[in-house]
Amino acid sequence: MPRAGIAQFGLWKSQNFYANIPHDTLLLLTGHKITGTSYYSSHNGICNHNRGASYVYVVRYHIFLAATVGAHGIGLMGAFHDVPGCRCFRRYQCLVAPNPGLLDMMSNCTFEAIHQWLHVWDPCLSSLNIAYNNFPYVARRCGDKITDNFEECDCGTLKDCSKLSFFTPDLFCKDGSHS
């Protein structure tokens, strides 16, 4: 049963890296089916350290389909699969239809469930963004006012540099762009 596998994974992630990388939920993209299913998500698992885990089997999925199946699983954070009476705007099926697919709209039922989640009981989704400083991503580039490797100077954009008294048109980064 996928519930047991996701429960074990949720407990492992809670104990091993939640303290270093706080998160609302975790989506595991895998090349292995767990008990023959293509996806699984814990109902009401979002914002829960242990149950906030989902998985999607992606080996044969196009990236867009994998993304919508992942959104389907995460979208079940408080909603149930759509039932008769749930309606989509201009769609036959919605994101949390019983059988996930390449779907992009939520039903009135899902909107109501998410509205209740966000406005009645929201332990995590409305929190301010958390800065992750354990794996900073900096795209080094000429013109960012940071003297990086292979740069002798970096006064910013061409407009910024032209305002400086020492600027001459021969100040260039080694890649040929301006410094």
pLDDT of residue 132: 62
| CATH number for domain 1-118, candidates 3.40.390.10, 3.40.50.2300, 3.90.1150.10, 3.40.50.300 | 3.40.390.10
Does the CA dihedral 31-104-106-13 come out positive or negative? positive
Confidence of residue 68 (pLDDT cuts 50, 70, 90): confident
Between the alpha carbon of residue 115 and those of residues 78, 112, 165, 178, the distances in Å are: 10, 5, 56, 49
Closest CA to 72 of 105, 47, 28, 48: 105
DSSP-derived letter for residue 128 is: P
Question: Domains of the chain: which residue ranges?
Answer: 1-118, 135-178
Q: Is the pLDDT confidence value at 179 over 50?
A: no
pLDDT of residue 174: 46
152-173 per-position pLDDT tens digit: 788 888 778 777 766 565 555 4
Q: Which amino acid is at 173?
A: C
Query: To which residue do tokens 């301006």 refer?
Result: 178
88-137 per-position pLDDT tens digit: 888 888 888 888 888 778 899 988 888 888 888 777 777 766 666 666 66
pLDDT of residue 6: 80
Q: Is the pLDDT confidence value at 1 over 70?
A: no
Please state the pTM of the whole predicted model.
0.60
Tell me the pLDDT of the chain averaged across its residues. 78
